[in-house]
């Protein structure tokens, strides 16, 4: 199965944790962990909120390109 998101990588780049993101979104840490391991995916509305929280373009979360390349 191909990785569909780069959430784990972006969290590391932004020096944030799964727990922090879960708290910001009001989600269970297990849910965010599943997103980070690509065993499930956030819906588009949640993905937009994640991008806002991480101060990045939504495309950075779903492609292999870095923000500087977009």
What is the rounded CA–CA span in Å between residue 64 and residue 30? 24
Q: Is 50 exceeded by the pLDDT of residue 67?
A: no
Across 1-29, average pLDDT: 94
Residue 35: name the closest of 62, 8, 66 by CA. 8
What is the rounded average pLDDT of the residues 47-57? Answer: 97
Averaged over 14-43, what is the pLDDT?
Answer: 97
Backbone angles phi, psi at 62, to 5 degrees: -125, 5
d(CA 36, CA 8): 5
**Residue 40 CB coordination number (10 Å):** 11
Single pTM value for the model: 0.86
Window from 27-31, 36-40, 59-63 with minimum mean pLDDT: 59-63
**Is residue 2 scored above 80 in pLDDT?**
no
């Amino acid at each position: 199965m191909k990785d569909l998101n780069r959430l784990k990588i972006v969290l590391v780049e932004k020096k944030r944790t799964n727990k922090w993101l879960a708290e910001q979104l009001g989600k269970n840490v297990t849910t965010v962990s599943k997103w980070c391991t690509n065993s499930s995916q956030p819906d588009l509305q949640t993905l937009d909120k994640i991008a806002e929280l991480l101060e990045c373009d939504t495309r950075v979360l779903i492609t292999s390109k870095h923000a500087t390349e977009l």
